[in-house]
Amino acid sequence: MFADGQCCVKQDDREVRISIEDLAWPVIDTPQATLASALMAACMEAGVAIVLATRHTPSGLVLPFHRHHRQSVIARLQADAKDSLKKRLRQEMVRRKILNQSAVLVAVGSDGAATLKEIARHVEPRDPDNVEARAARFYWSRLFTEFTRDDPADRRNKLLNYGYAVVRAGVARALVAAGLVPALGIGHQGASNPFNLADADDVLEPFRPFVDLMAWKMGANEKDGNLSIEDRRAMAGALLVDARSGEDSVTLLVAAETAAQSLMRAFEERESRATPPAAACTPAPELEPVA
């Protein structure tokens, strides 16, 4: 429920109050929770992204409308962006993702980092040769043993998917706050995907290695088993991972906000050098978003 500008959480005979201003991405991971409409409206007004889970797996995201005073202007610039600009943005995001994957291999003490750096050099605008996929196959084989990314029963995939969903929420929240429309992507343009820009091959991509490293630390070779409540709590905090943006140390949430602002400037200035629109990792213990 909502009262006096606070989120009031009641369970049995206990009540906890949290200021709406202190919320960014609450994860509702229980079917017993009931959300009052006044609380939902207050969260939307404050720019809070609400992540909903089904059977302990994030399955939905509630985002606010019109969080920027120049919403219509920026949305038009985004929609009218030239294909050449979008190709260069796509190139930078894929290249940055692969470099981040290289940094993860260094962080976990695996070989192959130098190979990924070399692969990143060959990414062309919009990645027509699908270098990203080739890099991914090499990367996963070095990060985990006996691992298939599309195996839903693998505990490591469950960790990854949970963390990706949380980071996606943070990225989508940042895009909306910057006046961008998450449905208008740079690379893929899935007609049924409301988060093309935040999802698939766009802004989220360079942030994924942060989650990969978290999952590795929580059990690199533990293939069997479901996620415990401790696992879910840990992955729900993915946006609090320490990162570096330039010379600054920030959280991944702040990095997503900086990336969204940078992307917005790229559309305004009609040139890709206004970005880097995501995350640049350095060899651990901390990864680093680009901004």
pLDDT at residue 269 tops 70: yes
Q: How many Cβ atoms sit within 10 Å of the Cβ of residue 38?
A: 11
Can you give the pLDDT at residue 285?
37
- Higher pLDDT among residues 72 and 107, named by residue: 107
Cα angle 1-44-251, degrees, rounded to a multiple of 5: 100
Q: Hey, what are 254's tokens?
A: 């702040």
Whether the pLDDT of residue 188 is over 60: the answer is: no
- pLDDT above 70: residue 271: no
**Residues near 44 by beta carbon (within 8 Å), at least 6 away in sequence:** 62, 63, 64, 65
The answer, yes or no, to whether residue 83 has pLDDT greater than 70, is yes
Higher pLDDT among residues 261 and 290, named by residue: 261
Kindly report, residue by residue over 5-53, the tens digit of the pLDDT: 788 888 777 888 888 888 888 898 888 888 888 888 988 888 888 889 8
Please list the alpha-helical segments (H only) found in the chain.
Answer: 37-45, 71-79, 83-108, 113-120, 131-143, 155-177, 208-217, 229-236, 252-269
For residue 2, CA distances in Å to 20, 21, 41, 62, 233 come to 9, 13, 9, 17, 24
pLDDT at 279: 47
Contact between 287 and 239 (Cβ < 8 Å): no
Does residue 128 register a pLDDT over 70? yes
For the segment 62-88, the average pLDDT, to the nearest whole number, is 81
Structure tokens at 108: 């976990």
pLDDT, averaged across the chain = 83
Place of tokens 């290249």: 95
Q: Closest Cα to residue 177, out of 45, 2, 15?
A: 45
Predicted pLDDT of residue 274: 43
Q: How many Cβ atoms from other residues are within 10 Å of residue 266's Cβ?
A: 25
Distances (CA, A) of 258 to 65, 90, 153, 173, 291: 20, 17, 35, 12, 5
Please provide residue 282's backbone torsions phi and psi, each rounded to the nearest 5 degrees.
Answer: -115, 160
Q: How far is CA 10 from CA 32, 37, 38, 76, 93, in A?
A: 11, 16, 15, 43, 43
Kindly indicate the confidence band of residue 284, based on its pLDDT and cuts at 50, 70 and 90: very low
CA dist., res. 249 & res. 265, Å (int): 22
Most confident of 101-105, 244-248, 263-267, 270-274: 101-105
The pLDDT value given to residue 69: 60
Is 291 strand, coil or helix? coil
Overall residue count recorded for the chain in this entry: 291
Tokens linked to 201:
């091959």
pLDDT at 156 over 90: yes
In this predicted model, which residue has the larger pLDDT, 104 or 75? 104
Average pLDDT value for residue range 138-165: 94
Q: Domain locations in the chain?
A: 2-48, 71-274
> Which class does domain 71-274 fall in?
mainly alpha
Q: Which residue would you say has higher pLDDT here, 224 or 47?
A: 224
pLDDT level of residue 201 (50, 70, 90 thresholds): very low
State what percent of residues in the chain have pLDDT above 90. Answer: 35
Instruction: State the pLDDT at residue 1.
Output: 64
Position 225: which residue type? G
Distances (CA, A) of 234 to 122, 162, 219: 35, 10, 12
Question: Is 211:101 a contact under the CB 8 Å cutoff?
Answer: no
Cis peptide before 64 (omega within 30 of 0): no
